[in-house]
A and B are shown apart, each in its own frame.
Chain A
């Protein structure tokens, strides 16, 4: 019970801090609309009016997941950097709490905020393209997108650990975000990429997040996708292990002051 209380303490504090800084939420909820409309407009011109509202919706979901992925990576890196600069990370490490609880709670708070923006984007998109009947699909998509984002949490914990070691949050999170954006089929089908990049995309969890969201709402979700999502959960285990090792074998040897 005490571990749950500690988990909830971090989760609540992170949520409050996040929601009181409205910028990331507004960015995550608005960016996909503007950019999907841009690509939809360009696509319509290039295809001489062949682009359908469904194509716009696919772009909208792609941009939404891309924005969420970028924001989550950046938020995790900055969680550690801010923690180091403000001394909060030291105080947290000096408290009798399992570091895994801290890492998981703060990351899940980022996922929860991401889902809040996804609800806004998905709700508008589904109503505009499919109608109210598809809102049930959106609900199912939210649940699976939550699970599909957990492996992303794992990668972000590696980003966080590297932030502690290298003391540079932006280059690390931006590099991860760039690779994810280029190889995960957020904006264009992954099949358009060279084989090597397709392989990279399918090895990372981001592709499965966007595919899950699109297919569940559109109604072509298959059982094999579920298997892939659960396989990707290995990233979460990896991230937690790397963070634990980073804290034990680096942070407590070198210190986490900035």
Chain B
């Protein structure tokens, strides 16, 4: 059974447009337009798309914060409309890494507050809050007021909040946004560990490398619709993205390859080949060089990135 299923979700909002002091009109904006997804248990599912594409709206529908105009969705087997409380019990949510807490409460007090909202008694909530503060690396900072936290500390507390009732499913909406590289790396390590513990994670991010390195499957959403869906490799193949192979050739002899050759940084010729099947093309190139009695300086394989997938799907 899938952890999350949604079928044909549609959500529209009414936007106000002003022209002058009082004159204005209303415009209907379709934020989500027929989104269908299935997320397997124990995996990270990446949901990427440009700003305003419908990622957060989809997450808010799945977390029962918004009621869809049409379509249906199930989280952990429970319907988001008719079994909303069971859905809420099943998932942990990070909507923004730097929001959601009482500024005049400490990290532990904030976590305990949410723990009690999720049904823990006070002593269990405080105990769990202290465990989570250690788990996410906040340590003694758990006793500091939230308004003294740095962005990285707030992000860690958000992850801890999402785990307070030990849910099987987590929705993490841009959990590393605005974080420095080290803090972002810690959050990614946390996500990786959570998946190893069997959690299912729906992750959105604008960091394509992050999505690619963490996600088993990725959906690209654009203008409210799922524009592409598959594993990162499947998406690259579907879009016909090519690998770039670079081979530096050493030696004094004349080199006749038929490939594009340019002078490299070290002054030696470097072969540049675009390939869809690098595992077949690369041995052929190396063999040809050897047959001509030349040596190989270096070999580089540039893999097409999720950023290229994103650009191709969104920009066309």
Q: Find out whether the CB atom of A9 lies under 8 angstroms from the CB atom of B96.
A: no
Q: Shortest 4 CB-CB distances between A and B: which pairs?
A: A87-B99, A9-B116, A95-B117, A96-B88
Q: Which residue of A lies closest to B171 (CB)?
A: A94
The complex places the Cα of A253 from the Cα of B60 at a distance, in Å, of: 11
B63 interface hit (Cβ, 8 Å): yes
Q: Which of B95, B101, B114, B125 contacts A95 (CB 8 A)?
A: B114
Q: Does B122 contact A (CB under 8 A)?
A: yes
The interface stretch among B1-9, B64-72, B201-209, B234-242 is B64-72
A60–B172 Cα distance when bound, in Å, is 53
Kindly identify, within residues 109 to 139 of chain B, every residue whose CB is under 8 Å from any CB belonging to chain A.
Answer: 109, 112-114, 116-122, 125
> Size range of the interface on B?
20 to 34
B105 close to A13 (CB less than 8 A): yes
Contact of B65 among A21, A86, A93, A96 (CB under 8 A): A93
Size category, A interface: 20 to 34
Residues of B within 8 A of A92 (CB): 117
Chain B: minimal CB distance from A21 (Å): 6
Query: Given the complex of chains A and B, what is the CA–CA distance between A112 and B95 in angstroms?
Result: 32
CB proximity of A153 to chain B, nearest CB, Å:
21
Q: Are B161 and A91 in contact (CB under 8 A)?
A: yes
Cα–Cα, bound, A252→B80 (Å):
12
Task: Determine whether B290 belongs to the interface, using a CB cutoff of 8 Å to chain A.
Answer: no
Contact residues in B for A231 (Cβ distance below 8 Å): none
Which chain A residue shows the least CB distance to B119? A2
Closest-by-CB residue of A relative to B106 is A16
Task: Decide: A90 and B65 in contact? CB cutoff 8 A.
Answer: yes
Q: Please give me the residue from chain B that is nearest to A97 by CB atom.
A: B117
Query: A13 and B95: CB pair below 8 A?
Result: no
Residue of B64, B86, B109 near A13 (CB, 8 A) is B109
| Beta-carbon nearest neighbor of B120 in chain A | A5
> A1-45: which have CB < 8 Å to B?
2, 5-6, 8-10, 12-13, 16-17, 20-21
Most chain B C-beta atoms within 10 Å of own C-beta, residue among A8, A9, A94, A254: A94
- Contact B104 A94, beta carbon cutoff 8 Å: no
* Cβ contact of B116, chosen from A6, A16, A21, A88, cutoff 8 A: A6
Contact yes or no, B100 A86, CB < 8 A: yes
From B13, B96, B101, B119, contact of A5 by CB (8 A): B119
Shortest Cβ distance from B76 into chain A, in angstroms?
Answer: 13
Q: How many Å from the CB of A178 to the closest CB on chain B?
A: 25
Which residues of chain B are near A90, meaning CB under 8 Å?
60, 65, 95, 100
The answer to whether A95 touches B118 (Cβ under 8 A) is yes
When distances are taken between beta carbons in the complex, the residues of chain B under 8 Å from A171 are none
Partner of B95, one of A10, A16, A87, A254: A87
Q: What is the chain B residue whose CB lies nearest that of A92?
A: B117
Chain B positions 84-105 with a Cβ under 8 Å from a chain A Cβ: 85-86, 88-89, 93, 95-96, 99-105
Q: How far is the CA of A12 from the CA of B122 in the complex (A)?
A: 11
Residues of B within 8 A of A254 (CB): 13
Which chain B residues in 279-312 approach chain A with CB under 8 Å? Answer: none
A6 and B60 contacting across the interface, CB-CB below 8 Å: no
How close is B241's CB to chain A, nearest CB, in angstroms? Answer: 36
With a cutoff of 8 Å between Cβ atoms, the chain B residues found around residue A20 in the complex are 104
Q: How far is the CA of A6 from the CA of B121 in the complex (A)?
A: 9
Please measure, in the bound complex, the distance between the C-alpha atom of A97 and the C-alpha atom of B64, giving whole angstroms.
12
Q: A97 to chain B: which residues have CB within 8 Å?
A: 117
Q: Which A residues are in CB contact (< 8 Å) with B112?
A: 9
Chain B residue nearest to A18 in the complex (CB): B104
Docked pose: A17 CA to B122 CA in angstroms: 18
What are 16 A-B contacts defined by CB distance under 8 Å?
A: A5-B120, A6-B119, A17-B102, A20-B104, A87-B95, A87-B96, A88-B100, A90-B100, A91-B93, A95-B118, A96-B85, A96-B89, A96-B117, A97-B117, A252-B67, A253-B66
**Bound CA–CA A255/B308 (angstroms):** 33
Q: A5-B122, A96-B88, A96-B89 are in contact. Are A253 and B102 (CB under 8 A)?
A: no
Chain A residues near B89: list those with CB within 8 A.
96
Please give me the residue from chain B that is nearest to A248 by CB atom: B67
Chain A residue at minimal CB-CB distance from B145: A20
Contact B65 A9 (CB under 8 A): no
Given contacts A5-B119, A5-B122, A9-B116, contact A94 B93 (CB under 8 A): yes
The reply to whether B117 and A9 form a contact with Cβ atoms under 8 Å apart is yes
In angstroms, Cα B124 to Cα A5, docked, is 12
Interface string of A67-90 (1 = CB under 8 A from B): 000000000000000000011101
Bound form: Cα–Cα A173–B100 in Å: 24
User: Which chain A positions have C-beta within 8 A of B121?
Assistant: 5
A6 touches B95 (CB 8 A): no
Taken residue by residue from 85 to 121, chain A's Cβ proximity to chain B (1 for < 8 Å, 0 otherwise) reads as 0111011111111000000000000000000000000
A53 to B39, CA, bound (A): 73
Interface residues of A in 149-179 (CB under 8 A from B): none
User: Is there an interface contact between B103 and A86, defined as CB atoms closer than 8 Å?
Assistant: yes
B243 to chain A, nearest CB (A): 42
11 further A-B pairs in the complex, CB-CB below 8 A; given A90-B65, A252-B64? A6-B119, A13-B105, A17-B105, A87-B96, A87-B100, A88-B100, A88-B101, A252-B65, A253-B66, A255-B65, A255-B66
A residues within 8 A CB of B66?
252-253, 255
